[in-house]
A = this chain, B = another copy of it.
Amino acid sequence: MFKILIIYYSRSGNTKKMAEFVRDGAKEEKVEVELKKVEDTTPEDMLNADGIIIGSPTYYGQPASPIIKLLEESVKYHGKFEGKIGGAFSSSANIGGGNETTILAILEAFLIHGMIIQGSYKGDHYGPVSIGKPDVRVEKQCKELGRRIAKLVMKNKS
């Protein structure tokens, strides 16, 4: 069975809640899903997954530093992530800008790894965004992301 790893950093609990919704969505497909705090995640965990989804709060328009640090350390396996599937989501305390650049930062790192990503033509195009506590709209977006990544994994890794 293919494996999807959802990595998140969360202080307020909002990004964690989003991560759980993404997991619920992925679990609707025939894949194994694991949820991990970034603090507990190693590049090896990423290497062992077929799909990697990363969620982060928006700090100055960028992902949180533990996320950036993990991506940095993943250079150890540069070339080995080719063809894996990636996705991203972000939360922020208030409207204002920075959510898109946060998500794109994660997606750009995935592209540099040679990974495959997909947008959504409806909803949050680059990846789910929550302003404050995730509401019903965000829940739907997150579940859809989980399902989408799971389907892409099954299609591309078979």
Contacts and interface: CB of A to CB of B under 8 A. Distances in A.
Interface stretch (A12-20, A22-30, A98-106): A98-106
Interface in A121-151: 121-127, 129
Interface residues of A, number: 53
A120 B113 CA distance: 7
A52 B68 CA distance: 22
A78 B60 CA distance: 10
A129 B97 contact: yes
Interface string A27-67: 00000000000000000000000000000000111111110
A152 B114 CA distance: 12
Interface string A104-122: 1100111111111111111
Interface of A: 59-66, 68-69, 71-72, 74-75, 78-79, 81-83, 95-101, 103-105, 108-127, 129, 152, 155-156
